[in-house]
């Protein structure tokens, strides 16, 4: 284990860059200028209280039609992906692990995975190779093989849903993965399994953005950088030590500096770092 | 990949729309319906007097009855179907083929294209192929014949098994049952006759294929299935037609008797071209401890009005109706089913799934009836509709007529739109919008499709995908 240490793989090559992103949902602006850079090989954590815009950022990166980008860019390997439909983004190697994966009745996991892998690779995957990859990944995530015969996310427990998301990530081998509250709704055992799965995928080529409300998952996945999102902006960025600071002091010292006694300089400094 | 946009726009998604230009009928078909036409059919078939009289009586019912405008119907009166512009009898061959080699080349080519001889070799107990008004080929496996199973076209059965035929013919659906049953009874031709003796279980399906070739054709096959006590049979019918700019008519009558302890499953994969009016009456009488099942897949036609019915007549009888309808632009699938509980401790399940796209419309029209005294009845009705876009439409008309207190009845209905979140989820995994929509639709209908033998399930999924072509984006 202990494959969770930070910075082991960063090579300072910019993989993913969000530039001054403004996003509205039903004419209400949720993101008000988000800037974020993830280098190849790095794991970033994005934290923030409820309603700060975390899931909006995740959905906008993947291109959900309900989230309207009004300004800004999302650059992936130097190219703006905002004009692309979600499928094209996925084919390029972007991945979103959903906070609430939607059920698709009647569609069997195995068939769905095979179609997804075909789309990602741009060619059919031989059955034997697919089976092997699937079995190995199921094993990694300690999932029962019968899982592949179930309908996509239908009747899954919270933990099963999250594991299924990580399973897809492991099989599709994205270059940049956004994990939207993959830790929420998991008991401690399931959390460990999911975290181990993600750690096993860490490497010099993968960028990861772990979005979370709690620091819990970050006990198992040590991020290279940590950002705090509040009211549609990143208000503070720092190293892994920021996680513990948040753990001790809560969000208030960043989001409401007057009340918690921290000076406004801290907020400004955070902005600059971002 | 591989598919060019021209292919999709050129092709409406219907791939059975060709016709055989070389085909010449052996009779001289005339358009329109009259007493002479009815008598002509009977004479040409050299029928006994009772059948001629049966036809004439039915023809009078046809004349007397108004077009259905009430509850049972998909507003046929709103269409300009011209019954005088229809051929009521087109005889394709002088004599039925005993082997496929006996079938005229251009007709055989059609069935080859439809994959019938191949399916017969691979997984069927027997096959019948009807082309316009007559069955041009039928065959049943030798071992089944030896066990006493009868499978032949209905005209031949009238000649070869007159007593058995007369005992049951027209007893489940009388000629004055409804306007289109009257029409069929007057001009019927072809269809399947099946008798399965006591205790005989036919393991692989018997299949009939109904092909219309002639423009303005009216096809009126008549099917009668008798499953004797403890027997088991699965009958599958498929149907297609060429695409013409003018209307064709298909109006069948299917009567089924499921005796004590027997099991009959009747599977339909209807895929008429979208110029065909499909107005069919299907009914099953199910006796003690017997099981009668309809698996009814409706993909094509301009207007379908079809509500397969199950009459549960003795204790322990069980009926099941699985109905699947897909309506594309300009199509109306008015389908559903009826379960009539006329005895205590009978059970039934109706499960309907429909998909509409473009200006397509699906209606679920169903009836659940429990007679007084039929205590201990258990019945559930579930109908789900999926709309693929803003223009498509779906309605549900469930009729419940429960005259007994000690019963358990369940009813659920849902209408959903192709979900933005489901599409986004699949697209976020790399599938384009059309593929994602297909996957969702195939998943939606899966509970019905999985009831089909594998070969038909594959075919049905393929047909659904063809219908879905170009429907999104």
pLDDT band at B201 (very low <50, low <70, confident <90, very high): very high
Contacts made by residues B413-416, CB under 8 angstroms, sequence distance 24+: B413/B364, B413/B381, B413/B382, B413/B383, B413/B384, B414/B383, B414/B384, B414/B385, B415/B384, B415/B385, B415/B386, B415/B387, B416/B384, B416/B385, B416/B386, B416/B387
Mean of the pLDDT values across residues B114-136? 93
Mean of the pLDDT values across residues A78-89? 97
Q: With a cut of 70, say whether residue A260 has pLDDT above it.
A: no
pLDDT tens, position by position, B271-326: 999 999 999 999 999 999 999 999 999 998 999 999 999 999 999 999 999 999 99
Interchain CB contact of B56 with A (< 8 Å): no
Express as a percent the part of chain B with pLDDT over 70: 96
Chain A residues closer than 8 Å to B421 by CB: 102
Interface contact A91-B424, CB threshold 8 A: no
Interface contact A90-B430, CB threshold 8 A: yes
Chain A residues closer than 8 Å to B439 by CB: 104, 107, 112, 115
pTM: 0.83
Q: Which residues contact A242 (CB under 8 A, 6 or more apart)?
A: A226, A228, A236
pLDDT tens, position by position, B428-454: 999 999 899 999 999 999 988 888 888
Q: What is the pLDDT of residue B150?
A: 98
Give the residue extent of every domain in chain A: 3-273
Q: What is the pLDDT of residue A76?
A: 97
Q: With a cut of 60, say whether residue B6 has pLDDT above it.
A: no
* Residue of chain B whose Cα is closest to the Cα of A91: B430
Q: What is the pLDDT of residue B87?
A: 97
Q: What is the pLDDT of residue B473?
A: 38
Q: With a cut of 50, say whether residue B265 has pLDDT above it.
A: yes
Length of chain A equals: 274
Closest Cβ–Cβ partner in B431, B440, B447 for A116: B431
Q: What is the pLDDT of residue B470?
A: 54
Which residues are registered as beta bridge partners of A199? Answer: none
Q: With a cut of 50, say whether residue B379 has pLDDT above it.
A: yes
Q: What is the pLDDT of residue B418?
A: 87
Q: Are strands A151-152 and A104-108 parallel, antiparallel or unpaired?
A: antiparallel
Q: What is the pLDDT of residue A2?
A: 42
**B 78-107 near A (Cβ less than 8 A):** none
Express as a percent the part of chain B with pLDDT over 90: 81
Chain B residues closer than 8 Å to A168 by CB: 429
Mean of the pLDDT values across residues B315-340? 96
pLDDT band at A250 (very low <50, low <70, confident <90, very high): confident
Q: What is the pLDDT of residue A251?
A: 83
| Bigger pLDDT: A110 vs A256 | A110
Interface contact B430-A120, CB threshold 8 A: yes
How many Å lie between the alpha carbon of B428 and the closest alpha carbon of chain A? 5
**Can you tell me the distance from the alpha carbon of B448 to that of A273, in angstroms, rounded to the nearest whole number?**
57
Mean of the pLDDT values across residues B67-78? 80
Interface contact A65-B424, CB threshold 8 A: yes
CB B150 within 8 A of CB B116: no
Interchain CB contact of B446 with A (< 8 Å): yes
Which span out of A155-159, A211-215, B207-211 was modeled with the highest average pLDDT? B207-211
Interface contact A104-B439, CB threshold 8 A: yes
Interchain CB contact of B445 with A (< 8 Å): yes
pLDDT band at A258 (very low <50, low <70, confident <90, very high): low
pLDDT tens, position by position, B19-43: 988 899 999 999 999 999 999 999 9
Q: What is the pLDDT of residue B416?
A: 86
CB B324 within 8 A of CB B356: no
Q: Are strands A14-25 and A28-39 parallel, antiparallel or unpaired?
A: antiparallel
How many Å lie between the alpha carbon of B414 and the closest alpha carbon of chain A? 14
Angle at which helix A158-172 crosses helix A127-140, to 10 degrees, equals 130
Which span out of A15-24, A45-54, A149-158 was modeled with the highest average pLDDT? A15-24
Interchain CB contact of B22 with A (< 8 Å): no
Half-sphere exposure of B241 (CA within 13 A, CB side): 29
How many Å lie between the alpha carbon of A106 and the closest alpha carbon of chain B? 4
Interchain CB contact of B440 with A (< 8 Å): yes
Interface contact B428-A101, CB threshold 8 A: no
Interface contact A119-B430, CB threshold 8 A: yes
User: What CATH number was assigned to the domain covering residues A3-273?
Assistant: 3.40.50.300
Q: What is the pLDDT of residue B82?
A: 94
Interface contact A168-B426, CB threshold 8 A: no
Closest Cβ–Cβ partner in B421, B430, B445 for A116: B430
Mean of the pLDDT values across residues B219-230? 98
- Least Cα distance to A45 among A268, A245, A263, A267 occurs for A245
Mean pLDDT of chain A: 88
* Residue to test with chain B: of A55, A56, A119, most B Cβ within 10 A: A119
Mean pLDDT of chain B: 92
Mean of the pLDDT values across residues B344-373? 95
Q: What is the pLDDT of residue B459?
A: 82
pLDDT band at A11 (very low <50, low <70, confident <90, very high): low
| Bigger pLDDT: B70 vs A212 | A212
- Least Cα distance to B357 among B12, B3, B11 occurs for B12
**Can you tell me the distance from the alpha carbon of B391 to that of A131, in angstroms, rounded to the nearest whole number?**
41
Closest Cβ–Cβ partner in B419, B430, B439 for A91: B430
* Residue to test with chain B: of A62, A104, A161, most B Cβ within 10 A: A104
Within its chain, how far is the Cα of A134 from the centroid? 22
Interchain CB contact of A66 with B (< 8 Å): yes
* Residue to test with chain B: of A106, A108, A118, A161, most B Cβ within 10 A: A106
Interface contact A101-B442, CB threshold 8 A: no
Interchain CB contact of A106 with B (< 8 Å): yes
Chain B residues closer than 8 Å to A62 by CB: 424, 428
Interface contact A106-B447, CB threshold 8 A: yes
* Residue to test with chain B: of A87, A94, A99, most B Cβ within 10 A: A87
Chain A residues closer than 8 Å to B464 by CB: none
Chain A residues closer than 8 Å to B430 by CB: 87, 90-91, 116, 118-120, 172
Mean of the pLDDT values across residues B396-417? 93
Q: With a cut of 70, say whether residue B231 has pLDDT above it.
A: yes
Q: What is the pLDDT of residue A274?
A: 35
Q: With a cut of 80, say whether residue A160 has pLDDT above it.
A: yes
Q: What is the pLDDT of residue A214?
A: 82
* Residue to test with chain B: of A56, A61, A86, most B Cβ within 10 A: A86
């Amino acid at each position: 284990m202990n494959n969770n240490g930070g910075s082991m793989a960063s090579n300072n090559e910019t993989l993913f860059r969000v530039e001054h992103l403004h996003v509205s949902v039903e004419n209400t602006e949720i993101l008000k200028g988000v800037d974020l850079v993830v280098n190849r090989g790095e794991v970033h954590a994005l934290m923030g209280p409820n309603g700060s815009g975390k899931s909006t950022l995740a959905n906008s990166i993947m291109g959900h039609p309900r989230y309207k980008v009004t300004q800004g860019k999302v650059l992936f390997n130097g190219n703006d992906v905002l004009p692309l439909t979600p499928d094209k983004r996925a084919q390029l190697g972007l991945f979103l692990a959903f906070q609430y994966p939607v059920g698709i009745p009647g569609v069997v996991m195995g068939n769905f995975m095979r179609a997804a892998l075909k789309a990602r690779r741009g060619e059919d995957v031989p059955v034997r190779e697919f089976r092997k990859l699937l079995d190995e990944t199921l094993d990694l995530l300690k999932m029962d093989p019968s899982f592949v015969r179930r309908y996509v996310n239908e009747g899954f427990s919270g933990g099963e849903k999250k594991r299924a998301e990580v399973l897809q990530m492991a099989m599709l081998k994205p270059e940049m993965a956004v994990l939207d509250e993959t830790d929420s709704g998991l008991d401690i055992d399931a959390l460990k399994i999911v975290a181990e799965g993600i750690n096993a995928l860490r490497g010099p080529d993968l960028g990861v953005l772990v979005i979370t409300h709690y620091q819990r998952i970050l006990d198992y996945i040590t991020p290279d950088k940590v950002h705090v999102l509040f009211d549609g902006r990143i208000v503070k960025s720092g190293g892994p030590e920021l996680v513990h600071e948040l753990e001790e002091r809560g969000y208030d010292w960043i989001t409401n500096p007057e009340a918690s006694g921290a000076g406004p300089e801290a907020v400004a400094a955070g902005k600059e770092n971002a | 990949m591989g598919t060019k946009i021209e292919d999709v726009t050129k092709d409406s998604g219907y791939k059975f729309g060709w016709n055989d230009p070389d085909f010449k009928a052996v009779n001289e078909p005339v358009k329109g319906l009259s007493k002479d036409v009815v008598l002509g059919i009977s004479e040409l078939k050299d029928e006994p007097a009772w059948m001629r009289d049966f036809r004439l009586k039915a023809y009078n019912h046809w004349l007397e009855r108004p077009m259905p405008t009430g509850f049972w119907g998909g507003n046929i009166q709103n269409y300009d179907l011209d019954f005088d512009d229809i051929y009521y009898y087109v005889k394709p061959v002088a004599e039925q083929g005993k082997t496929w080699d006996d079938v005229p080349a251009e007709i055989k080519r059609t069935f080859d294209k439809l994959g019938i001889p191949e399916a017969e070799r691979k997984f069927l107990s027997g096959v019948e192929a009807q082309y316009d008004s007559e069955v041009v080929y039928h065959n049943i496996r030798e071992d089944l014949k030896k066990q006493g199973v009868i499978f032949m076209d209905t005209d031949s059965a009238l000649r070869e098994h007159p007593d058995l035929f007369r005992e049951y013919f027209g007893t489940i659906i009388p000629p004055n049952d409804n306007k289109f049953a009257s029409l069929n009874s007057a001009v019927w031709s072809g269809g399947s006759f099946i008798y399965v003796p006591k205790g005989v279980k036919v393991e692989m399906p018997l299949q009939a294929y109904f092909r219309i070739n002639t423009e303005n054709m009216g096809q009126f096959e008549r099917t009668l299935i008798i499953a004797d006590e403890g027997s088991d049979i699965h009958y599958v019918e498929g149907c297609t037609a060429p695409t013409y700019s003018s209307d064709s008519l298909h109006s069948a009558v299917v009567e089924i008797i499921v005796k004590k302890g027997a099991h009959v499953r009747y599977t339909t994969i209807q895929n008429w071209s979208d110029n065909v009016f499909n107005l069919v009456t299907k009914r099953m009488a199910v006796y003690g401890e017997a099981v009668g099942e309809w698996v009814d897949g409706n993909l094509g036609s301009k207007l379908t009005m079809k509500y397969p019915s199950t009459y549960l007549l003795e204790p322990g009888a069980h009926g099941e109706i699985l109905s699947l309808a897909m309506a594309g632009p300009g199509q109306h699938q008015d389908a559903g089913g009826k379960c009539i509980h006329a005895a205590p401790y009978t059970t039934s399940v109706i499960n309907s799934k429909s998909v509409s796209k473009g200006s397509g419309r699906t209606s679920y029209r169903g009836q659940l009836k429990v007679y007084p005294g039929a205590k201990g009845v258990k019945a559930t009705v579930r109908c789900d509709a999926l709309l693929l876009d803003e223009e498509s439409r779906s309605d549900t008309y469930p009729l419940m007529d429960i005259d007994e207190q000690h019963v358990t009845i369940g009813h659920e209905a849902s209408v959903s739109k192709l979900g933005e979140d489901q599409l986004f989820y699949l697209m976020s995994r790399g599938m384009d919008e059309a593929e994602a929509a297909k996957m969702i639709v195939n998943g939606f209908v899966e509970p019905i499709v999985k009831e089909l033998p594998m070969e038909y399930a594959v075919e049905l999924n393929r047909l659904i995908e063809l219908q879905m072509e170009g429907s999104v984006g």
